[in-house]
Homo-oligomer: A and B are copies of this chain.
């Protein structure tokens, strides 16, 4: 197919529409959960009909997975996985908590859908299973590197510390959401990590 100005406009429009759908879907999945969100509501917020939405994403399930995948891509890039290491990586995680405190929608999305997805038949079950495994593994690697750098307090087990840190982040998000954002997630996280280190965070 020849690339004419019309074609380019058409593709750009389609991409913009897809992005708008993903944004609105993220917000509603966060507010109402996957089960509680309806395609009609998402579509209306985008100014289209719900069969119009299904033209871009064939099923509700595909839409959810696209939303989750996009958020992960953005956050993984922001975390600079593979670049930062050791204590730097741990600090980066507290920075992420600080950033998340300005993005209620994203925090809602992951908190609510992760809880839903503990059911084995939930469409995002496998996604979150993998996500937790890799999150804990990445964090354990950071603790191991911190130990190699002599920054880890003796008696701190990297594997246990990794499970703790990921659990703490998730639990704090729930508290932050239910307490109407009065919990200082980043500061509570930093206090936890500081107690594990022999160096400044």
A135 to B175, CA, bound (A): 11
Contacts of A35 in B (CB 8 A): 32-33, 35-36
A128-B178, A164-B188, A183-B163 given; A119·B31 CB < 8 A: yes
The answer to whether A44 has its CB under 8 Å from any CB of chain B is: no
Q: Which of A1-9, A74-82, A166-174 contacts B (4 or more CB under 8 A)?
A: A166-174
Copies held by the complex: 2
**A117 — which chain B residues lie within 8 A by C-beta?**
178
Contact B179 A129 (CB under 8 A): yes
Q: Is A68 an interface residue (CB 8 A)?
A: no
- Among B32, B132, B133, B175, contact of A167 (Cβ-Cβ < 8 Å): B175
- Size category of the A interface is 35 or more
**Chain B residues, CB < 8 A from A163:** 172, 175, 183, 188
Chain B, Cβ-Cβ closest to A117: B178
Interface string of A3-47 (1 = CB under 8 A from B): 000000000000000000000000000011101100000000000
